[in-house]
A and B are shown apart, each in its own frame.
Chain A
């Protein structure tokens, strides 16, 4: 009985719920909300944004409470690296020996006290004597020095006679004697190896007793070391951040403003005006900009202002082109026609309709200009045309460090690292921004 009743009901008309036919799956979002959501999902873009925020905040805030200023010099404490290998003289006295064989008194955990008093500098015998709180410290760098000059002779002799006899060279004899080994001949590579790696660069003798390296500590006075004029590297890199960021942002913004006006007007007016304006842009862009930035820098006096001026004069063309392209394509779109049909004024059209829609590529372009500007500034500073001493920018810091790269690599490392990370972060962020604003562009 119930069977037939059930079968019957199958053939009865279906009662459709109201929303069966036209369900729209997801709530609709505005373009900006949608883009923001997409951006949030892009982990590397968000990470980059955080890095940028961190750097900007550091650049602004750190100089206020940091102990040193970027121009304070302490010539006696120049070129001290961030990691020190210190020697213990006795219970209270510790020293660090610079690569120029100067003695710096330090504390046990790495704070620099002062340059020790030089008692005697025996340049001939390759030794020097310092006084550290009543103790006499001898720095003897003759072993290495002599070994090196012997090696040079050895190399020359090698060219005539490829056999190297240990007994001919004092440093080799001494070395093998100290090893308790008896060797007659060795190869060139071994001889070089012994000279470079087996002989102490210098020996530290306290009151005639050989002092051994105590331990490695981090430099507590200059956490990233000091430069050739005894200035704190850390604060100089932070200050460099300020300079680079300011240049980046200001140049990008000025380019943006000029470019938007020029491109916007050119695109909107169209016709002959557009043609002429773009011709001008074409000529300017076919001239290699870098050259002219450099030339301008030669003319204007060096400094932050000049860099910004030089870059603004030359790099706005890129933005102008993009804005004009956007305006041109927007102009033809139907919603502009619709707005005009209901009688909106030109200004209203421009600001309320055109610009918000063109904003996407413009914003992306803007965020790409910042690292570009920073790079240009660094490049200029590196070539010696940027900010003037004692002001620091990352580029000029690298330039300063170039001479002594092999001896004091840390002076190049920190500014280079800071610069690379910042530019990288901006690039990743602008990539992410572009993906978020127009996912069609991405693959």
Chain B
């Protein structure tokens, strides 16, 4: 098992390196020079930046400089927001996104899985059909439509939630719900299918023939097996929360890292774009790594891959 974990960690590191490299070269391909004289009038600062990042040197030197800076934790200075380091900007915005993302994840897992179980056990009854319809809607209506619809209904028309920002704690409801909607729907459907599948298996029949209670049959025997495909979905789920955040934060006016990313793109603030992209990508890779390792503990068959 240790070998498997080490292999996965190495693989993750390889991916991260790959990400940094691709992002770096993509950035250099973008036309336009952000350091032309009119954008950065102060010649001293310009020279300092040039020297620090090796911007007047050939590409591969710049690349290595970037890598070494990266490892040391220096991600550069924002082009647009004078004087602020990328690191600072990200750490300012990240906590908001993290909070919303965490609440959303908790919601997705708790509500999604429970609903899935309920629907599987009451297959084709009213609650099953109802929840399945909701899940289908949640999975197909685009997140920004949901977001704006939510705002319109609950803020404009009903006035129950603020229309902007999160000073009012009620402001969390909208973003958390909308970011979670897609994944929650998916997990509900996935759990339902998975449990239905597992209940058809022979070992459930064996469990019943042992005389144990139905509750234990489902809770002990069925559930753990059913959870396996769900755990594999957690990686993509986090990814969708992250990408969802771009739009949701914009619509709800949350100063998180998602809206940071989109504004940096629109402003063509290159270091910030790079910093946030790499940050997101690394965050995802690490999350997936953790999930993969978790998976090994749940399914004993994996050790022998």
Q: A interface vs B, CB < 8 Å?
A: 282-283, 286-288, 290-292, 294-296, 298-299, 371, 375, 378-379, 382-385, 395, 398, 402, 405-406, 409, 412, 416, 419-420, 423-424, 427-428, 443
Contacts and interface: CB of A to CB of B under 8 A. Distances in A.
A383 B147 CA distance: 14
B45 interface: no
Given A286-B11, A378-B142, A409-B156, 15 more contacts: A283-B15, A287-B15, A288-B243, A292-B26, A294-B265, A295-B273, A379-B247, A383-B250, A395-B142, A402-B251, A405-B152, A416-B142, A416-B145, A443-B123, A443-B193
Given A283-B14, A295-B26, A423-B141, A405 B148 contact: yes
B18 interface: yes
A250 to B, nearest CB: 19
B197 interface: yes
B280 A424 contact: no
A398 B140 CA distance: 16
Contact of A420 (B18, B145, B243, B288): B145
A416 B149 contact: yes
Given A286-B15, A383-B247, A412-B148, A420 B136 contact: no
A406 B156 contact: yes
A384 B148 contact: no
B284 interface: yes
Contacts of A379: 142-144, 243, 247
A166 to B, nearest CB: 24
Nearest to B274: A295
28 contacts: A282-B11, A286-B15, A286-B288, A287-B19, A287-B281, A288-B239, A288-B243, A288-B280, A291-B277, A291-B281, A292-B26, A298-B268, A299-B26, A299-B30, A379-B142, A379-B144, A383-B262, A384-B262, A398-B148, A402-B251, A405-B151, A405-B156, A412-B152, A416-B149, A423-B140, A424-B136, A424-B141, A427-B140
A298 B27 CA distance: 9
B285 A286 contact: yes
Given A405-B151, A405-B152, A288 B284 contact: yes
Please classify the interface of chain A as helix (H, G, I), strand (E, B), loop, or mixed, using the class held by over half of its residues.
Answer: helix
Interface of B: 11-12, 14-15, 18-19, 22-23, 26, 29-30, 123, 136-137, 139-145, 148-149, 151-152, 156, 163, 193, 196-197, 239, 242-243, 246-247, 250-251, 261-262, 265-266, 268, 273, 277, 280-281, 284-285, 288
B234 to A, nearest CB: 14
A283 B11 CA distance: 8
Contacts of B139: 427
A388 B251 CA distance: 21
B191 to A, nearest CB: 12
Contact of B137 (A287, A298, A424): A424
A424 B144 contact: no
A412 B145 CA distance: 8
Nearest to A442: B193
Contacts of A427: 136, 139-140
B97 to A, nearest CB: 14
A288 B244 CA distance: 13
Q: Which of the listed residues B14, B22, B141, B152 has the most CB atoms from chain A within 10 Å of its own CB?
A: B141
A95 to B, nearest CB: 27
Contacts of A294: 261, 265
B157 to A, nearest CB: 9
A416 B262 contact: no
A298 B197 contact: no
Nearest to B284: A288
Nearest to B26: A295
B196 A443 contact: yes
Contacts of A290: 239, 242-243
Contacts of A424: 136-137, 140-141
A385 B29 CA distance: 17
B23 A295 contact: yes
Given A409-B152, A424-B136, A375 B142 contact: yes
A419 B142 contact: yes
Contacts of A299: 26, 29-30
A350 B52 CA distance: 56
Contacts of B265: 294, 298, 383-385
Contact of B266 (A295, A384, A420): A384
A409 B196 CA distance: 42
